[in-house]
Amino acid sequence: MKSVWRAIGTPVLASLIAIIIGGIIAAAIGYNPLQVYGSLISGAFGGAIPLGNTLAGSVPLILAGLGIAVAFRAGLFNIGAEGQYWIATVAAVWIGYHFKGMPGFLHLIFMLVVAMVVGGLWGGIIPGLLKAYRGAHEVITTMMLSYIGILFAQYCIEPGGPMLEKGYQPQSPAVAQNAWLGSIIPNSQLTWGFAIAIVAAVVVWWILFHTTFGFQLRAVGSNQFAARYAGMNVPLYTVLALGFSGVLAGLAGAVQMLSQDHRLTQSFSSGYGYTAIVVALLARNNPFGVILAGIFFSALSTGSQNMQLVSGIPQSLTDVLTGLIIFFVAAERLIPMALTWYRRRKSGRLQVSLPEGGRTDG
C-alpha cells in the first residue's frame, strides 16, 4: 500500500495543487471557484451521457498515452504520436472502404492490424533504425515524420486528393458500416473502443513487467550500459520500443476513427497525440496510471463546455489547469523539496528554545 501511495502521490498532489491554483485564478478574475469546478465535474461526469462522452474522449488519449509511456520506459521520447495516429488512420480508412463485403468482425480486425503496423513503421521502425544505426535523435525524427504523416493525411482528403469523397466537404468515404465499433451507452459517444483501451493497458502492463521483451526494454531504458553488459541488443530494443510505441499510437487512430467519424475528416484529431505526452507524464509511465490520466484529461475537455455555459468562465481555464499540472508533474522534485523545507522550518522553530552558544562566525 505504501508503494502504491508513493507511486501515485506526486501526480495526485501535482493535480491537486494545479486545481487549487486554478481555483485561485478563477476567484481572482471574479468567478466562484466552487461553481466553476462544480460545473466542470457535472459536465464531465454528471449523468450517463456526459460520463460516456468523457470515457469516449479518453480512448485515444489512453492508447496513444500507452505508446508514449512504452517509449519513455525504454528511455526514448516519441513525440510523433500525432502523426502516427493520422497515418495509421489513413491506412485503416483505405482498407475500410476498399474491402467492403468482408465479415464485419474480420474487417475490423484487419483495419486495426493494418493501423498498428503502419503506426509501428512510421513511429518506430524508421526513427528507431535511424536512431540505432545512424545516431539520429528520435525527438527530431519522430517529430518530422509526424508532420509528414499529418500533412499526408490532410492531402488525401483535400480537393484532388486520392481519398476525397466527391461532392462533400473534405472527407473520405466512410468505412464499411458492419465494421464500426458499436456504442456502449446509447446517445453518448462511448463505444467498445473503451474496452479495447482498457485491454491494451493490461496487455502493455503485462508485456512491460512480465515478459523478457519488457524486461529488456526497461533495462535498456534505465541503463543502457548495464543492458549492453548483460548481453542485450541495445539498438534492436531501441527499434522495437519505438515500434511498439507507434503500434499503440496507430491503434489509437484506428479505434477513434471506428468509434466516432468512421472516416477521415480534417478535424479527426484534436491534438490527442500531443496531449498523450502529458497523459504519460502524469501517469509516470504506468499503464494503469495512463487509464486514470487519460480519463482525467478527457474530463477536463468534456467538462469545460458545461463549465463555460454554467459559470461563464472561458473554456481556456482548462488549458491553464493543464499547463499547471504539466508544470507540477515535470517539477515533481519541487514537492519533496517543499516538504523538506517545511520540516526544517518546523525543527528550526523548536531550536529557538535551545542555547545559541555555538553560532560563532567563522
Partner 1 sequence: MTHFLEVIDLKKHFPGVKANDGVNLTVKSGEVHAILGENGAGKSTLMNMIYGLYQPTSGQILLEGKQVEFSSPRDAIRSGIGMVHQHFMLIPALSVAENIVLGDEPGGIQYNRKEAVRRVQQISDQYKLQVDPTRRVADLSVGLQQRVEILKVLYRRAKLLILDEPTALLTPQETRELFEIVGHLKAEGIPIVFISHKLDEVREIADVVTVMRAGKTVETLPIGDATPQDLANLMVGRDVVLRVQKNPIQLGNKLLELRGIHVRDASRHERIRDLSLTVSEGEILGLAGIDGNGQSELVEAVAGLLPTTAGSIHLAGQDITRVRPFDRTELGIAYVPQDRQRDGLVLDFDLVENIILRDFHKSPYSKSGAINYRAARAYAERLIREFDVRPADADRKAGELSGGNQQKVILAREVSRDPRLLIAVQPTRGLDVGAIEGIHRQLLRLRDNGKGILLVSLELDEILSLSDRIAVIHDGRIVDIVDGDSATREQLGLLMTGVKSTAETRGERV
Q: Which residue has the cell 469546478?
A: 37
Distance CA 56, CA 302 (A): 10
Q: Which of 155, 192, 215, 288 binds partner 1 (CB under 8 A)?
A: 215
Binding status of residue 137 toward partner 1 by CB under 8 A = no
Binding status of residue 362 toward partner 1 by CB under 8 A = yes
Under a CB-based contact definition with an 8 Å cutoff, are residues 253 and 85 in contact? yes
Q: Which of residues 45-64 bind partner 1 (CB under 8 A)?
A: none
Q: Which of 177, 178, 187, 223 binds partner 1 (CB under 8 A)?
A: 223
Q: Which of 213, 274, 288, 327 binds partner 1 (CB under 8 A)?
A: 213
Binding status of residue 361 toward partner 1 by CB under 8 A = yes
Q: Which of 166, 186, 225, 267 binds partner 1 (CB under 8 A)?
A: 225
Binding status of residue 359 toward partner 1 by CB under 8 A = yes
E strands present in 107-208:
none
Q: Which stretch binds partner 1 (CB under 8 A): 119-127, 191-199, 281-289, 353-361?
A: 353-361
Q: Which stretch binds partner 1 (CB under 8 A): 45-53, 80-88, 161-169, 219-227?
A: 219-227
196 Rama sector, left if φ>0, alpha if ψ -120 to 50, beta otherwise: alpha
Binding status of residue 177 toward partner 1 by CB under 8 A = no
Q: Is the dihedral of CA 159, 160, 165, 171 positive or negative?
A: negative
Q: Which of 177, 178, 187, 211 binds partner 1 (CB under 8 A)?
A: 211
Q: Which of residues 332-351 bind partner 1 (CB under 8 A)?
A: 344, 347-348, 351
Binding status of residue 167 toward partner 1 by CB under 8 A = no
H-assigned helices in 121-180: 126-134, 138-156
Distance CA 288, CA 155 (A): 36
Binding status of residue 234 toward partner 1 by CB under 8 A = no
Distance CA 207, CA 117 (A): 18
Under a CB-based contact definition with an 8 Å cutoff, are residues 60 and 255 in contact? yes
Q: Which is nearer to partner 1, 4 or 28 (CB)?
A: 4
Closest approach of partner 1 to the CB of residue 332, in Å? 15
SS3 183: strand
Closest approach of partner 1 to the CB of residue 35, in Å? 43
- Could you tell me which residues come within 8 angstroms of residue 325 by beta carbon, excluding any fewer than 6 positions away? 14, 15, 18, 278, 282
Binding status of residue 355 toward partner 1 by CB under 8 A = yes
Binding status of residue 229 toward partner 1 by CB under 8 A = yes
201 Rama sector, left if φ>0, alpha if ψ -120 to 50, beta otherwise: alpha
Distance CA 97, CA 128 (A): 31
| Residue 164 DSSP one-character state | P
Query: Contact residues for partner 1 (CB under 8 A)?
Result: 210-213, 215-216, 218-219, 222-223, 225-233, 344, 347-348, 351, 354-355, 357-362
